[in-house]
Each structure stands twice: as structure tokens, then as C-alpha cells.
Amino acid sequence: MLRGFGLTSGSLPGRQASLTDVAVLAGVSHMTVSRVVNKTGPVSAATRAKVLAAVEKLSYRPNSAARALVTGKSGILGVVTLDSTLYGPASTLYGIEHAAREAGYSVTITSVGTPNSSAIAEAIETLRRLAVEGIVVIAPHAAASKSLEGAPLDIPLVAVGGGQEAPVPMIAVDQADGARRATEHLLALGHKTVWHVAGPVDWLEAQDRETAWRQTLKRHRVRAPRIIRGDWSSRSGYAAGQALAREKDLTAVFVANDQMALGLLRAFTEAGIAVPKDVHVVGFDDIPEAAYFSPPLTTVRQDFIEVGRRTFRQLAEQIDGREPAARDLVPAELIVRESTGPR
Amino acid sequence: MLRGFGLTSGSLPGRQASLTDVAVLAGVSHMTVSRVVNKTGPVSAATRAKVLAAVEKLSYRPNSAARALVTGKSGILGVVTLDSTLYGPASTLYGIEHAAREAGYSVTITSVGTPNSSAIAEAIETLRRLAVEGIVVIAPHAAASKSLEGAPLDIPLVAVGGGQEAPVPMIAVDQADGARRATEHLLALGHKTVWHVAGPVDWLEAQDRETAWRQTLKRHRVRAPRIIRGDWSSRSGYAAGQALAREKDLTAVFVANDQMALGLLRAFTEAGIAVPKDVHVVGFDDIPEAAYFSPPLTTVRQDFIEVGRRTFRQLAEQIDGREPAARDLVPAELIVRESTGPR
DNA sequence: CCCAGGGTTGTTACCGCGAACACTGGCCTC
DNA sequence: GAGGCCAGTGTTCGCGGTAACAACCCTGGG
């Protein structure tokens, strides 16, 4: 059995069958075949049957290049993404791909190693050359966001996670909301203050989380300790943990992502600091592993699938010529686990 | 500044400039423009300059659909992948994308939720409709592999991680090699036997690791304990850990991936079993976080970037009509950390 | 009985590009 | 001085599809 691969007994003339080939076999004009294939225009039942038989026999497949040429629509969306396996970007990508495929679009990706202006511009240019109908830039990066300021206006474009003042329509999880929830959760547990291990300065999400943390502390009239900065990696979280272990008034830490929190926990364990007994820790992202850290991590969940879905919708609206909302924030959710449990 | 976006002062006639538009502006024929743009055929320096000026002025961008139509080459590769954020598949995808982009190809992805025959067949069909020049199937799954048996033979196709008897050319990390190294490492530490937490039965990589583990034990004349099976998730590893905690002769466990190992470590911690003091644990994958587990995890590193690179090379050879090797295995590497450290 | 009109089918004209081939001049060779 | 070669350029054609319109058949109403 050739399970649905369409490699039936049809002759193999060395190249794909075209509309005309089908038309000749079915004894009709190529336009009639086109009408059957695309279900446009009226075709009698008898003719349709003949055509479909011929289509099957030749395992005809429409040529998307020809169709794109004449219609001006490629049916392709482009996604610019980081070439990392960071949980957020990867999840978002699948969210977009899923929504796009359901709507009949294909998704082409172009990854960038470091999201600086020229790399992003180049990636966008590459995608445009492919005649994509719209572009998503997943690059929650200051430089990336900045590079979009001069972005082409003649093609639908959406940014994902692009900070407060993105120059193009943007979808993101509400970072400030999540960071506020995390910080207030810790304050509500009675801590005098909350330390923060931040992400890289040039990441907008890191900035947003840091700002919200600082504002929350201020609103509660609490002095903010000095900040420790990591690069999202567990390694940097480990280093941060070693640094924090030397602080004496340390009782609560809000870490900007779960991977760093893992490194932090490891460093604390080595330093003899018990979590949650001595220190409470909150992460960000809720990666699938977070529930199995030692101890299980309280963290802020981001619904990346929903982000992907809304991103596609936003793009589709632009493509269809409707004026979309400029910003769309997906709320965050606090997931409480043992790392902020009873002491 | 419009940093390289090519949105210069040129007129905006409502649609993209074509070769002919450029030709008219430059006062030459469209073929001359084509020759300049593609660097084919001889063009005098003066003419080239005129043409390039016109290209710049109109911000001309070649229409890939038209080019694909006339050349029969789309410059697109298709990748069928799981819509999960599993470390392996995601890393491999970026490896492929990177190699492909360097060679001037674009990569279009189609994700499948569950890799059964019909889903894979459908994904391949979707990609073929897009006129991709070659297809990569990342689906280290028994069903997926099986579905490739009836795969179309008229388009270059490569499988990634497709078990021993893949019906199409295949690239993978040498699972047996990795599992053997892991098991022998534990045996060399003096353990009487080695337990195994396996991946899902329908994953070929899980089968390969399990088989190699079993064979290694047999070669050392050691009786294999009953197997525990998970689904790659930390959650399932946690459950496995709870089950294993009840075994009395437990001293060494080889877990089929790092996420499950994390869950296992968590369960052991809760059960009062110390790693590495009471039990040694080895994982598989070397995800970036593994070095920061508690304790840091001994594991088997898989070079997914290399897999991606070789996958693209394999595909490129098929596209160019060279006959590629049918199988290509990337060696695995054992990374020793504290989870198999001094007791 | 003729004509209007709708359902059905065919014809023609491109879409933007590259392959193949034709054409123009020098310049070199014998 | 005629022929050949080659760098440089142009013309023509068609890739496989869709849009627009033309042409045909059949039916029903006047």
C-alpha cells in the first residue's frame, strides 16, 4: 500500500503532471480542470468525475510557483527567530505554525544567531525575496526591536515580545503583570525585600520584568537590593546563586527565568542554603521541567501557544487589509510550588 | 536611516518592480538586467553600473515564484517535525536551517502533533505541493519510520533519527554507542547491575537505547532488571523514580533522557535516596541544564548541530543527483558529572 | 417559433523570469 | 582583406497557472 502518497500507477513522464496534461487525458480544456481543482465556477458532475479521475491517474499536484506568479499570493509566511532552543521562542514558533497551517499558509523560518539590526534586516530581506505574504519577528531584543523602526511598511509585519514601544504591531505575554505577581507573591509571604536575578540588559523582556519588580517594591515602600544579571542560562544562574549566597539578608529571590533559577538552586544547595526553608525562589516561564526541580519551582507561566495563535491572527488581519490592534498582551499566571512553600 | 531595508526614494507604483521595469529605466533589455542580477554572462562595466543604479532606485527584488516556475527549482527545503519543544528535534531543526541557509536554501516547516503514518504522509504531501526540492523528516518514531516505507521516491528525502532499518537515507546520533557508553560507565564503577528507565516504546531511539543497554549487560553477564518505561517527560521520570525507590538492590540507573532523569532525581530526593551516595544516575542528551541538576548529571551528549549539518549535506547530494550514503551515524559522547561521582 | 438567460465549457492573454539562440561589432589571424 | 571568434546585447519562447471574456448548449416565456 502506498498510504496516501499518491504514487499510483500513473505514468512517470519524468516530470510532474501539469493542468494541461490532466486536461488532455480528461478530454477537456485546462480551465475546466482548474475549475474542478479549485472548486471555482460551475462544472457538471460528469465532467468533474472525468477530471478527478485524470487528476488521480497522473497524481497531479498544483504548481505553487505558477499559482503564486499569477495571483501574486505565495501562501507563505516568514518567521524570523533566534536559533536557540530557548523554551519561549520555540513554543511560540509552533503556535504560529499551527495556526498558519490551519489557515492554509506555510511557514518558512529564518534564524538569526545574534539579533542585531543588520542580522534582522537581512533575515527580513531574505524572506521578502521569497515573496512571503507576511513576516513575524520573534526577537524580544532591544536591538531587534530597534531594527524594526526602519522596517518596510509595505508588507504585513508583526513582532513577538517586543517591549513597550515597539514600532510595529506586537504580541507578547504581559511581562510586567507576571513580574508583579511574582514579586507580590514573595512580599505577601512576609519578606522584607525581594532580590532579583535579571536577564540580559539587551532583552526587552528582561527589562520589563526588572522594571515591574522595581516598581512593585517601590509601591510597597521596600528598598530594592542591587541587581544580579544573568544571560538566561543555568550557568549564569549558578554564578548568580554563588554571589547571592554571600548576602546575609537574603530571604527571597525572583529569578527572570526558570533555567537560571535551576542554576541558582544548585548553587544554594552547594552553599548549604535550603529552599524554601532559608530562602524562597520564584522563576519565570514555567518550562515543563520546573515542577521537578529540587524543590519544585514557583514560577510565572507564559502561554506561548496563545501568543502564537494571536500572532497569526494579527498577521492575517493585516494581510486581509483590516487594521489590526497595535498591541495585544496575553496575561501571565503565577504557579505556586514548593520553592515558596512553608519554611 | 533605513538600515538596509531598501525602501529608498524610488517611486512606488503600487507593485514590486519587475525585471522589465528595471530594464526600461536602465535603457537595456530585461535579459541584460537578469545577467547583472544573477552574475551570469558577460556585461560591460558601464552597463552593469546603469543597471545596478536602476535596481537600487526601484528597490528591485527578484520574484522567486517566477524564477521557480521557469527553472523548476524553488530553493525551498521542507522539514517535517514534531510540534514539541523537545531539545533534540528543536536543535536538529536549527542545524538544518543553518546549513540550508548558508547554501542558499530556505526552510519551510510543517509540524505534526502525533507522528502517525497519515499525519506524516499528509505533511509530506503539503510540502510537495509547495514544490520543495527536498524533504527532511524529523520523527524518530516507529510509526513515522514505517510511514516512510511507502514514501515517494521521486523527491529527495532524508530521515533523521529513524532507527536501524529506515527505508530511506537516514542520519542519526549513534544511539547504541551512547547507551553502551552509559551502561559500561556504570558497570565500570562496580555496580552489580544497571536499571533502565526507557522512553516510549514507539520511539525508535528509545528502542535503540534499550537494546544497547540490554546487550551491554548481557555481554558483561549481568542479569537485566525489569524495565521502567516513561514518555520523555520529567513527570514520567518522577513516577519512575517513585517506583524505583521501592527496589532494594538499586544502585545504578541509566535513564533514557535528561528530562526524565530530572524527575527521577526529584523522586529520589523525596524518598531520601542520595545521588550519588546511594545510587548513580546517568541521563541522555546533555541538555544545557543537565550540568545544574542536583547533582549535576552524568549524561550522553548528542551533537544535534552536526546531525543537522549532515542531514542537509545528505539532502543536497540527493538534489544534485549524487548517490548519497544510505546511513550516517554521529558518535555520542559520555559527559561525566557528579551523579556518578564518588559515593 | 424566436429570443433571453443561465449553466457549462473553451480561448486568449498575461504573470516575471531564464534558456536558447540571433545579432552586432571590433580584433585577430592567415 | 575575408573569415572567425568572442564579448556584449537583444529577441523570442514558454514554464503552469488564473482572470476575463467569448461561445456554446439548453430551457422557458412571450
Q: Is A121 within 8 Å of B3 when comparing Cβ atoms? A: yes
Tell me: pLDDT of B86 over 90: no
| Beta-sheet strands, E only, within A145-209 | 157-160, 170-173, 195-198
B331 — pLDDT class (breaks 50, 70, 90): very high
Residue B29 Cβ < 7 Å to strand C? no
Q: Which amino acid, A316?
A: A
**Cα–Cα distance measured from residue B145 to residue A307, given in angstroms and rounded to the nearest whole number:** 32
**What is the domain-level CATH number for residue A110?**
3.40.50.2300
Q: Do A250 and A312 lie in a common domain? A: no
H-assigned helices in A59-165? 64-71, 87-102, 117-129, 142-147
Closest chain A residue to B295, measured at CA: A266
**Cα–Cα distance measured from residue A71 to residue A48, given in angstroms and rounded to the nearest whole number:** 24
For the segment B99-134, what is each residue's pLDDT rounded down to a tens digit? Answer: 999 898 999 999 988 878 888 888 998 898 888 999
- Confidence (pLDDT) at B202: 87
Find the nucleotide nearest B17 (Cα to C1′): C16
- Confidence (pLDDT) at A4: 38
Q: Do A186 and A292 lie in a common domain? A: yes
- Confidence (pLDDT) at B165: 67
Domain total in chain A: 3
Q: Is B121 within 8 Å of A94 when comparing Cβ atoms? A: no
Q: Is B5 within 8 Å of A91 when comparing Cβ atoms? A: no
Tell me: pLDDT of A207 over 90: yes
Residue B66 Cβ < 7 Å to strand C? yes
CB atoms within 10 A of CB A126: 17
> Checking DSSP bridges between strand A333-335 and strand A299-301, what pairing results, if any?
antiparallel
Q: Do A44 and A148 lie in a common domain? A: no
A6 — pLDDT class (breaks 50, 70, 90): very low
**For chain A, what is the mean pLDDT?**
89
Largest CA distance in chain B: 87
Tell me: pLDDT of A293 over 60: yes
Q: Is A65 within 8 Å of B131 when comparing Cβ atoms? A: yes
Mean pLDDT of A315-329: 84
Give domain status of residue A3, yes or no. no
Mean pLDDT of B81-86: 82
Q: Do B228 and B314 lie in a common domain? A: no
Q: Are A16 and A63 in contact (CB under 8 A)?
A: yes
What's the Å distance between residue A53 CA and nucleotide C5 C1'? 32
Q: Is A107 within 8 Å of B109 when comparing Cβ atoms? A: yes
Q: Collapsing DSSP states into helix, strand and coil, what is residue B107?
A: strand
Q: Do B294 and B234 lie in a common domain? A: yes
Q: Do B284 and B168 lie in a common domain? A: no
Tell me: pLDDT of B14 over 70: no
Percent of chain B with pLDDT over 90: 71
Give domain status of residue B9, yes or no. no
Q: Is B262 within 8 Å of A108 when comparing Cβ atoms? A: no
Closest chain B residue to A261, measured at CA: B292
Facing A125 at nearest CB: one of B6, B72, B129: B6
Percent of chain A with pLDDT over 70: 93
End-of-domain residue from the set A62, A90, A115: A62
Q: Do B233 and B272 lie in a common domain? A: yes
Q: What angle do CA B109, A82, A158 make, to 5 degrees?
A: 75
Which residues on chain A are in Cβ contact (under 8 Å) with B64? 65, 74, 129-131
Q: Do B298 and B180 lie in a common domain? A: yes
Residue A67 Cβ < 7 Å to strand C? no
Tell me: pLDDT of A70 over 50: yes
Q: Is B111 within 8 Å of A97 when comparing Cβ atoms? A: yes
Mean pLDDT of B288-301: 96
**CA torsion angle B186 B188 B189 B193 (round to 10):** 50
Q: Do A159 and A243 lie in a common domain? A: no
Give domain status of residue B2, yes or no. no
Facing B121 at nearest CB: one of A4, A15, A63: A4
Q: What is the DSSP string of A281-323?
A: EE-SB--GGGGGSSSPPBEEE--HHHHHHHHHHHHHHHHTT--
**Cα–Cα distance measured from residue B137 to residue B201, given in angstroms and rounded to the nearest whole number:** 19
- Confidence (pLDDT) at A321: 82
Residue-wise burial string across B24-56, b where 16 or more C-beta atoms lie within 10 A, e elsewhere: bbbebeeebbbbbbeeeeebeeebbebbbebbe
Sign of CA dihedral B263, B266, B271, B276: positive
Give domain status of residue B10, yes or no. no
Facing A64 at nearest CB: one of B122, B131, B147: B131
Residue-wise burial string across A191-207, b where 16 or more C-beta atoms lie within 10 A, e elsewhere: bebbbbbbbbebbbbbb
- Confidence (pLDDT) at B191: 97
End-of-domain residue from the set B29, B62, B95: B62
End-of-domain residue from the set A6, A29, A62: A62
Residue B71 Cβ < 7 Å to strand D? no
For the segment B202-252, what is each residue's pLDDT rounded down to a tens digit? Answer: 888 999 999 999 999 999 999 999 999 999 999 999 999 999 999 988 999
Q: Is B153 within 8 Å of A7 when comparing Cβ atoms? A: yes
Q: What is the DSSP string of B171-215?
A: EEE-HHHHHHHHHHHHHHTT-S--EEEE--TTBHHHHHHHHHHHH
Q: Do B226 and B278 lie in a common domain? A: yes
- Confidence (pLDDT) at B253: 98
Q: Are A311 and A252 in contact (CB under 8 A)?
A: no
| Beta-sheet strands, E only, within chain B | 76-82, 106-112, 134-138, 157-160, 170-173, 195-198, 228-229, 252-255, 280-282, 299-301, 327-330, 333-335
Find the nucleotide nearest B63 (Cα to C1′): C16
**What is the domain-level CATH number for residue B23?**
1.10.260.40
Facing B266 at nearest CB: one of A87, A111, A294: A294
- Confidence (pLDDT) at B24: 94
Q: Do A294 and A234 lie in a common domain? A: yes
The cell numbers describing A284, all together, are 519565570
Tell me: pLDDT of B21 over 90: yes
- Nucleotides in chain C near protein beta carbons (<7 Å): 7-12, 14-20
Give domain status of residue B270, yes or no. yes
* Crossing angle (nearest 10°) for helices A45-58 and A30-38: 90
Give domain status of residue A41, yes or no. yes
Tell me: pLDDT of A89 over 90: no
Q: Is A131 within 8 Å of B90 when comparing Cβ atoms? A: no
A contact test, residue of B289, B305, B307, B338 with most A CBs within 10 A: B289
Tell me: pLDDT of A5 over 80: no
Mean pLDDT of A188-197: 97
Q: Collapsing DSSP states into helix, strand and coil, what is residue A72?
A: coil
For the segment A145-172, what is each residue's pLDDT rounded down to a tens digit? Answer: 777 776 667 889 999 986 666 678 889 9
Residue A66 Cβ < 7 Å to strand D? yes
Q: Which of residues 20-49 of A touch strand C (CB under 7 A)?
A: 27-32, 35, 41-44, 46-47
Mean pLDDT of B50-75: 93
Residue A34 Cβ < 7 Å to strand D? yes
Q: Is A108 within 8 Å of B107 when comparing Cβ atoms? A: yes
What's the Å distance between residue A38 CA and nucleotide D14 C1'? 24
A276 — pLDDT class (breaks 50, 70, 90): very high
Residue B41 Cβ < 7 Å to strand D? yes
Give domain status of residue B24, yes or no. yes
Mean pLDDT of A273-280: 96
The cell numbers describing A181, all together, are 505577581
**Which residue range forms the structural domain that includes residue B121?**
74-173+304-330
Kindly report the nearest CA distance between residue B299 and chain A, in angstroms: 17
Give domain status of residue A180, yes or no. yes
Tell me: pLDDT of B1 over 70: no
Find the nucleotide nearest A67 (Cα to C1′): D17
- Confidence (pLDDT) at B154: 80
Q: Do A298 and A199 lie in a common domain? A: yes
**Cα–Cα distance measured from residue B111 to residue A207, given in angstroms and rounded to the nearest whole number:** 32
Tell me: pLDDT of B77 over 70: yes
Which is higher by pLDDT, B6 or A102? A102
A7 — pLDDT class (breaks 50, 70, 90): very low
From residue A118, alpha-carbon distances to A77, A112, A113, A148 in Å are: 21, 10, 11, 10
- Nucleotides in chain D near protein beta carbons (<7 Å): 7-12, 14-20
